[in-house]
Amino acid sequence: MNELLKVDHLRVAFDSDRGGTVGVDDVSFRVMPGETLAIVGESGSGKSVTALSIMRLLGGNSRVEEGRIMFDGRDLLELDDPGMRSIRGNQISMIFQEPMTSLNPVLSIGFQMREAIMLHMGQSKKEAHATAIRMLEKVGLPRPEKMMNEYPFALSGGMRQRVMIAMALSCKPKLLIADEPTTALDVTVQAQIMTLMQELCREAGAAILLITHDLGVVAEMADRVVVMYAGQVVEEADVFELFEQPKHPYTQGLLKSIPRIDAANDEQLESIPGAVPARYESIPGCRFTNRCPYATDRCAKEMPLLSATGEDHFTRCWEVRRAENGLREEEDSHA
pLDDT tens, residue by residue, 142-201? 999 999 999 999 998 888 888 988 898 898 899 999 998 877 677 777 788 788 888 888
Each residue's pLDDT tens digit, 58-95: 888 899 999 999 999 999 999 999 999 999 989 999 98
DSSP secondary structure, 67-93, as one string:
EEEEETTEEGGGS-HHHHHHHBTTTEE
Residue 332: which pLDDT band, with cuts at 50, 70 and 90?
Answer: very low
Residue 331: which pLDDT band, with cuts at 50, 70 and 90?
Answer: very low
Q: Residue 182, exposed/middle/buried by CB under 10 A (0-12, 13-18, 19+)?
A: buried
Percent of the chain with pLDDT over 90: 58
Each residue's pLDDT tens digit, 10-36: 999 998 777 788 899 999 999 999 999
CB contact at 8 A, 209 and 39:
yes
pLDDT at 99: 66
Rounded-to-integer distance, Cα 65 and Cα 58, Å: 13
Mean pLDDT of the chain: 88
Rounded-to-integer distance, Cα 294 and Cα 252, Å: 12
Q: Where are the domains of the chain?
A: 5-228, 231-261+270-334
Residue 232: what residue type?
Answer: Q
Provide the whole-model pTM: 0.90
* Mean pLDDT (whole number) for 128-141: 92
Q: Is the dihedral of CA 240, 245, 247, 252 positive or negative?
A: positive
Higher-pLDDT residue of 285 and 193 is 285
From the candidate CATH numbers 3.40.50.300, 3.10.20.600, 3.40.50.450, 3.40.50.1000, the one assigned to the domain spanning 5-228: 3.40.50.300
CB contact at 8 A, 86 and 56:
no
Rounded-to-integer distance, Cα 90 and Cα 177, Å: 12
